[in-house]
Amino acid sequence: ELARLSRKKEANLSLLFADLDRFKAINDTLGHRVGDQVLQATAAHLRACCRPYDSPARWGGEEFIVLLPDSDEDEATMIAERIRTMLQASLSSTISIPITISIGVAQYQEGETLETFVSRADQALYQAKEQGRNRVVRWSRLHPAPK
């Protein structure tokens, strides 16, 4: 999918790399059944917040990715913020432990590999966690282009 989308020279392509904050506490406190329900609800919220042609997927554990074709970094950040706020509002009202999500955003750079693209979004996610969790961080803000 990435290769196909990246061949469209005029198209922007962005990636969200998301991780549920303190998910281990949910499993440890409320049990794995509730943890599984949180993962399923998170997947449903990702689909609800995305456009019909976006591609949300579980990456592993409590991590998710969303491939956003025809999205520059500003639009991807708006979608990420929508996911973050909607998830926190809806899941935190149904579970006794606050549910938040941290999200890294990266825009595809021509010629880069899938691994590099995902790595850049993951670096932004790491910074979101380091900055206190429950936030969206753009990779470009961490590595501004030279002027």
Catalytic residues: 62
Nearest CA-CA partner of 100 in 34, 10, 47, 25 = 25
Bridge-based pairing of strands 63-69 and 13-20 is: antiparallel
Whether residue 106 contacts residue 124, with contact meaning beta carbons closer than 8 Å, is answered with yes
Give the type of residue at 19. Answer: D
